[in-house]
């Protein structure tokens, strides 16, 4: 309904006509509709560190497995959306100290003008990525490409492929079917944010790492980690009270 109203609003503005969407009857009807259906969106199951490691361990040593291995590792480290992940390029990698790297994420859903942001790759992920690049003989352009048998394509993966990679690796790892169903290409982003929160990283650094611009959005991502932290703190407090007695 919101999308359709936005379309009607835009057409009338382009034609310099009065906007019927702002009519009080329309606004009241929209409020009534919103009350009948909760607006809380279903969130992808977070691919947290433990789950990520199980998926990485399930990737075979084949050419396809090496690509998927690197895709999952890089996706988790950079907190990239699936479209950002498949758009990463070799020339945007920059070596850092201690074997780490940074990579430029050129454009994002909330960055239409291409200001870009930098993602961080840990040394273990850098080694995983280098193995894939060497075996695939990738010297420029896209990091992640289609694999057919023993051949590597020249074009970037389609974003939907990230979903299939995650679910396929989860099936191979023997995860619970309920968890597999909840995983998607967004799961690496959600899980990495939750892990950062659980590790004690503040909201602002997490927002910068993932390219978020809204505190409300990042709050939804990490709410499960926040609940767990609160539970741990309460448990410690309860133990302290018991000892005090």
Same domain as 76, residue 14: no
Q: Residue 175 has what pLDDT?
A: 95
Q: What pLDDT band is residue 234 in, cutting at 50, 70 and 90?
A: very low
Residue 244 domain flag: no
Q: Residue 107 has what pLDDT?
A: 83
Residue 238 domain flag: no
Listed residue (54, 61, 43, 41) closest to 166, CA to CA? 54
Q: What pLDDT band is residue 221 in, cutting at 50, 70 and 90?
A: low
Same domain as 135, residue 26: no
Same domain as 136, residue 28: no
Residue 228 domain flag: no
Same domain as 98, residue 22: no
Q: Is the pLDDT of residue 209 over 80?
A: yes
Same domain as 200, residue 117: yes
Q: Residue 229 has what pLDDT?
A: 46
Average pLDDT, the chain: 86
The total number of structural domains in the chain stands at 2
Residue 236 domain flag: no
Domain hosting 14: range is 7-36
pLDDT, tens digit, 9 for 90 and up, residues 101-116: 999 999 887 777 778 8
Mean pLDDT calculated for residue range 60-86: 95
pLDDT, tens digit, 9 for 90 and up, residues 30-52: 888 878 876 656 677 889 999 99
The more confidently predicted of residues 153 and 236 is 153
pTM (2 d.p.): 0.78
Residue 30 domain flag: yes
Mean pLDDT calculated for residue range 56-76: 96
Same domain as 201, residue 171: yes
Residue 233 domain flag: no
């Amino acid at each position: 309904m919101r999308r359709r109203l936005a379309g009607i609003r835009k057409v009338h503005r382009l034609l310099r006509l009065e906007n019927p969407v702002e009519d009080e009857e329309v606004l009241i009807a929209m409020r009534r509709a919103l009350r009948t259906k909760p607006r809380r969106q279903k969130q992808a199951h977070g691919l947290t560190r433990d789950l990520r490691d199980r998926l990485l361990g399930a990737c075979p040593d084949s050419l396809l497995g090496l690509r998927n291995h690197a895709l999952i590792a890089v996706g988790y480290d950079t907190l990239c959306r699936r479209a950002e992940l498949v758009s990463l390029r070799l020339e945007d990698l920059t070596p850092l100290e201690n074997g780490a790297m940074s990579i430029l994420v050129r454009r994002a859903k909330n960055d239409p003008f291409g200001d870009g942001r930098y993602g961080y790759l840990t040394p273990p992920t850098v080694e995983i990525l280098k193995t894939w690049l060497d075996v695939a003989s990738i010297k420029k352009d896209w990091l992640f490409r289609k694999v057919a048998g023993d051949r590597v394509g020249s074009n970037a993966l389609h974003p939907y492929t990230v979903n299939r990679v995650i679910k396929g690796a989860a099936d191979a790892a023997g995860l619970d079917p309920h968890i597999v169903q909840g995983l998607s290409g967004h799961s690496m982003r959600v899980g990495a944010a939750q892990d950062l929160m659980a590790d004690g990283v503040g909201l602002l650094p997490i927002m910068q790492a993932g390219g978020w611009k809204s505190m409300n959005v990042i709050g939804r991502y990490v709410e499960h980690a926040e609940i767990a932290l609160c539970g741990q703190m309460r448990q410690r407090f309860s133990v302290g009270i018991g000892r005090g007695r």
